[in-house]
Structure 1
Amino acid sequence: MSQANFDEAAQRELSKFLESEQAKARLQQSIHTFCDLAFDKCVTKIGNKLDRSEEACLANTVDRFLDTSLFIVRRLEETKGSM
């Protein structure tokens, strides 16, 4: 069934759904990329467990990621609220 067979409201709903799913996929890809970068930066030797400096590096990196994510969400909410 092609999109042309839907009425205008259904096409808008489908379009919104597809945009939402694409945004989720982009977010997942960003998180995956972030995890790869953090691991490459912080983990200097492969072993059975992380040493203290590796653990601290990963914890700090995750904290900064969360801080940044919250900042972005708040800014988007402020922008959306002022529209």
Structure 2
Amino acid sequence: MLSCKELVARSSAILDGELSFRERMAVRRHLMLCRNCRRFIKQMKLTQAVLRHMPDTQAAEVDDLAAHLAQKRRESL
């Protein structure tokens, strides 16, 4: 049976649809039994969808915002 560690290692191939039939069945079997991995794959799919919809032109602004928020977080500690 596929372990959680193996599933995480193959997560990119899972999300990109690059698995063989046998590998897909092993992943499906594991996801049926493992709530944590189901949650992980769901979060990865959501992240992938959000990144697809982000405009490329605002990348610098997003980086600046992330840096600003990180600075604020450090100041509050």
TM-score (norm. length: structure 2): 0.34
Output the TM-score relative to the length of structure 1: 0.32
